[in-house]
Amino acid sequence: MSTHPAKPSMRDSLVAAAFQLFLERGYEQTTVDDIVKTAGVGRRSFFRYFPSKEDVVFPDHEQCLADMTEFLAASADTDDPMARVCDAARLVMRMYAENPTFSVQRYRLTREVAGLRTYELSVVWRYEKTLGDYLRSRFADRRDGTLRANVVAAAVVAAHNHALRHWLRSGGEGDPLAEVDRALEFVRDTWRPDGAAAETPAEEAEDVVVVITKRSTPMWRVVREVESSLGEG
Amino acid sequence: MSTHPAKPSMRDSLVAAAFQLFLERGYEQTTVDDIVKTAGVGRRSFFRYFPSKEDVVFPDHEQCLADMTEFLAASADTDDPMARVCDAARLVMRMYAENPTFSVQRYRLTREVAGLRTYELSVVWRYEKTLGDYLRSRFADRRDGTLRANVVAAAVVAAHNHALRHWLRSGGEGDPLAEVDRALEFVRDTWRPDGAAAETPAEEAEDVVVVITKRSTPMWRVVREVESSLGEG
């Protein structure tokens, strides 16, 4: 029995070696041969884990896509599809948040290397497609179901990426999960089930009070509601 | 003076030669040398117009991106930003609609060649960024302006691409401009100007009154606003 701490897997070692070299000498200047030499493994080991040098930059997306697909497949028909896709998007943010240093390093790398930007776009597209596939099946009864599914999936991805980019640009400061919650809340508010409009936009809670009332509500009840919302009641 | 019909430009000839070869022998099997030979021009002429073989597949996007940027830059502050980005998206659909045969051929090619799919994603991303940049400046006064701009830009692009894909899959049948109008209308309905979607959902306008007010607003003003909204003031 060994008393050593858990050894990193060969896959982890390859990722670590690759990023060490990317940061030291640049992505373009690093070859797969350099990576395997630094990691102390054979060239074939690299390609067992990663089809190309680009793939080692995004080692967790395949697993995360698989997790997202599984999570959505496990949905019940009674689940609110909007809540479900927002939770699915949170899985991605959680992956980034688990390793802020790595996420920020990678972000800087993708800013510099056009090929990685493109690779990232194709990953983002696969997330969007996964969300869209789920929504298309959930919205199948709606006349505008396919269109709605595509637009909502794009909106969820855009909101997620808005929060993600903001966090990465800040160098990984703050709570990315709180940021993504705020951004996804905007999407939730945009498409309330059955047109039940935004009741209290979270991001404006400090400044404004929103009161929604039926036209038939007596005036005294409206006033009381406003007063209690303002904390004056 | 020649009585010949207008000769296609060298650029057009290169595109035509490239597509002829791509269809005959496949994209991967066609080299730039093959293209210039078929077009009867020199290799340097190709690279004067197209940085790479991929670029010849999408010969019109640079111009269309430039047109979109110019169109948005020419906006007045009084223009409804939502209407403006939808009109900007229509410019792209118009480009595809101008040459249905070419558009459908290219669509089939991009389905088959992974590298072209990725190239296309990067073009789509540039359109989304162009729309997003415009919306960010128009929504600059809003607290959630950047997030809103990013989500709306993504939604417009998704709606456009929904209509475009549907038309391309059908082999270029029907009216793509009518299809994109319908898809964009969904986005317009989602975000009415000044966030009116969230504040007074059209389908509930008969039933509810929504009042949004700053916390610091004096109570008497809130009451007056509620009364006037209810039509009792």
Per residue, the 3-state secondary structure of B156-216, as one string, reads: HHHHHHHHHHHHHHCCCCCCHHHHHHHHHHHHHHHCCHHHHHHHCCHHHCCCEEEEEEECC
Is residue A123 within 8 Å of A66, Cβ to Cβ? no
Assess A203–B contact: CB distance below 8 Å, yes or no: yes
Q: What is the mean pLDDT of chain B?
A: 87
Kindly state whether B85 is in contact with chain A, defined as any CB-CB distance less than 8 angstroms.
no
Substitution target from A189, A213, A220, A229 for chain B, most B beta carbons within 10 A:
A213
Residues within 8 A of B (CB atoms), A 123-182 only: 125, 144, 146-148, 150-151, 153-155, 157-159, 161-162
Q: Under a CB-based contact definition with an 8 Å cutoff, are residues A115 and B52 in contact?
A: no
Least confident among A189-198, B66-75, B102-111: A189-198
Closest Cα in chain A to B214: A208
Count how many domains chain A has: 3
- Please give the pLDDT value at position A209: 57
Same domain as B140, residue B157 = yes
| A215 and A120 in a common domain | no
A111 has a chain B CB within 8 A of its CB? no
Between CA B65 and CA B164 the distance in angstroms is 17
Same domain, residue pair A154 and A128: yes
Same structural domain, B70 and B156: yes
* Chain A positions in Cβ-Cβ contact with residue B143 (cut-off 8 Å): 203-204, 207
Q: What is the CATH number of the domain that holds B38?
A: 1.10.10.60
- Write out the residue range of the structural domain in which residue B232 sits: 200-233
Please state the rounded mean pLDDT for residues A162-179: 96
Residue range A75-96, pLDDT digits in tens: 999 999 999 999 999 999 999 9
Is A222's CB within 8 Å of B219's CB? Answer: no
Look at residue A177 and tell me if it is in a domain: yes
Give the DSSP H or E segment for A110.
Answer: helix A100-112
Residue B97: CATH number of its domain: 1.10.357.10
Q: Closest Cα of chain A to B32: distance in Å? A: 21
The answer to whether B4 contacts chain A (CB < 8 Å) is: no
**8 A C-beta contact, residue B89 and residue B160:** yes
Does residue A2 form part of some domain? Answer: no
Which of A182-196, B99-113, B170-184, B197-211 bottoms out in mean pLDDT, i.e. has the lowest?
B197-211
| B158 vs B212, more confident | B158
Q: Identify whether the C-beta of residue B159 lies closer than 8 Å to the C-beta of residue B184.
A: yes
